[in-house]
Structure 1
């Protein structure tokens, strides 16, 4: 990936992380029990609210730091597909699922391309490669 593409992927990763960190935090701050009750009211298991909120909160932090970008983005993609088909689709495109579709697209981009720039995971992997090359040459 070129430097411009890496910068673009970095921006997408961090913004997606901030958005989901905020959404996850809001679910806990607003009372996760209320969110679980709402999930129940739309026919989803209330326990799923906890799973979604944790993925959003922890996943958002992981994306910002650049840890497990592809895995977290996959999970976020599933959440967005679920949100679109269970809640947003009936409202139509505008004022319905357009925002979720953008978030889904960003998540899919990150699944396909990753994001190594300013990534803690890349820093750790580079450190392991450097250590491996030092021990191999010794």
Structure 2
């Protein structure tokens, strides 16, 4: 593997990590009660809403530093699937006013997370062989 592969993997995981982390940080002041209500409306215990902090703070932080990147990316992918299920199911077949897919952001986050889970995080980071 050459150096540009590692730089590309770092760029992908750092970008995804920062962008998802910002969503998690935004949830800290207001909490996850709204997510809990959405979960209970689907028959899922509200306490599981706290897992959003794992998917939007812990896992992105692991991606950014490059430690356990594959499992962290899988957690983010699961988090995105749950977000799509809870909030965006009605938008799956919709397009935006600009002609793009209504869920392009969520789709890109999900695809990037799955890609990192498959290819790993590269050699740039704290994880070494754990990437």
TM-score normalised by L of structure 1: 0.76
What is the number of equivalent residue pairs in this alignment? Answer: 123
1:108 has 2:108 as partner: no
1:53 is paired with a residue of what secondary structure? helix
Structure 2 segments unaligned to the other structure (5+ residues): 97-101
Structure having the higher helix fraction is 1
Structure 1 segments unaligned to the other structure (5+ residues): 126-138
1:53 has 2:31 as partner: no
- 1:1-138 to 2 correspondences below 5 Å: 1-41=1-41, 43-91=43-91, 92-95=93-96, 96-122=102-128, 125=129
Deviations 1:33-72 (A, max 9, x none): 3432344346543222101222211111111100110001
TM-score normalised by L of structure 2: 0.80
Distance change (3 Å), C-alpha of 1:100 and 1:43: farther
Structure 2: distance between partners of 1:80 and 1:107: 9
Q: Which one has more relative contact order, counting CA pairs under 8 Å at least 6 apart?
A: 2
1:4 is paired with a residue of what secondary structure? helix
Cα RMSD after superposing both structures: 2.0
Distance change (3 Å), C-alpha of 1:30 and 1:74: same
